[in-house]
Chain A
Amino acid sequence: MKFSLARQALILAALALVPGMGEAVYFRHKISWQSPIPPSELATVAQARAWGENVIWADARPDEDFARDHVPGALSLNEDRWNELLPQFLAAWSPGKKIVVYCSSLSCNASREVARRLRKEAQIPDVFVLEGGWEAWLKSK
């Protein structure tokens, strides 16, 4: 094709929009454009506390942070030792119990990743990310 380089690049860039938009429509219910975590998958400290015994806490922070301090009753479940920790975590979980995952703060990603993997790999539907993470827990104490 005898187009100039810029025109060729523009044509390709425009062509890629078509399947991209189609995919965006196809996945519209699986991803939120507003926030990485859909509001339905977030839980506040107050909400999680209100669930009482019906909740199991997953600490997605590194081992050292977990060893230093954690939410009472929480189990460590981080991605560094995922294969090792997941079976222990699942042994403690029972169907019907909600899982609340937290990492250090509002800006960390670990809790989101762990929650996503729990849903995808362990097929557990009731997994929530603690809004504000460990920092929010400390503030609420």
Chain B
Amino acid sequence: MSGPSTLNVQLSTRPQFPWRIVDVIVAGIFIYAGAIKVLDPVQFANDIDNYKILPWPVSVALAFYLPWLEILCGLGLIFRFLYRGALSILTALILVFTLATVAAKVRGLDITCGCFGHASQHWSFPAHLLTNLAILAALLALCICERAETRLNRPA
């Protein structure tokens, strides 16, 4: 007999493998980016300050705070701990980073993004933008997938 509850169980236990890979890749990117910045907060504070958007004390505070937020949210994606919160924070972060990058370009600022420490020092603007957009697309896909899963698992 196959009622709605059986269908829900079947759908909720569908293979998660491809999405788990996306989870781990996106999480890995943020954990790596966070770890590099944790090791050199002075450089990251300078990178934030180069955008000329925030006052220096705020740049310093963010330089200490944001890398840990990235790492925690990355771990949240891997271990599915506070998963939806982690996804939404990372999506918001990448949106803000992308907007700040575009704004810097529009204002003619020639700066390093600071996203991956010295590894990203010589990234061109298009490379930087494309990377951010790819991460954003992956995060949005994960959000959609998670919402669909929640809806399917909700008791009728």
A positions within 8 Å CB-CB of B: 1, 3, 5-13, 15-17, 19-21, 23-24, 27, 30-31, 33-36, 107, 109, 112-113, 116
Cβ proximity bits B94-137 to A, threshold 8 Å, 1 near / 0 not:
00000000000000000100000000000000000000000000
Q: Does B12 contact A (CB under 8 A)?
A: no
A20 with B42: CB separation less than 8 A? no
Q: Does B5 contact A (CB under 8 A)?
A: no
Query: Which B37-65 residues have C-beta < 8 A from chain A?
Result: 38, 41-43, 45-46, 49-50, 52, 56-57, 59-61, 63-65
Q: Does B68 contact A (CB under 8 A)?
A: yes
Known A21-B64, A24-B64, A27-B42; 19 more pairs at CB < 8 Å: A1-B83, A5-B84, A5-B88, A7-B85, A8-B85, A8-B86, A11-B82, A16-B68, A16-B71, A16-B72, A19-B68, A20-B64, A20-B65, A20-B67, A20-B68, A20-B69, A35-B56, A36-B45, A116-B42
- Interface size of B by CB at 8 A reads 33
Contacts of B38 in A (CB 8 A): 23
Q: Does B28 contact A (CB under 8 A)?
A: no
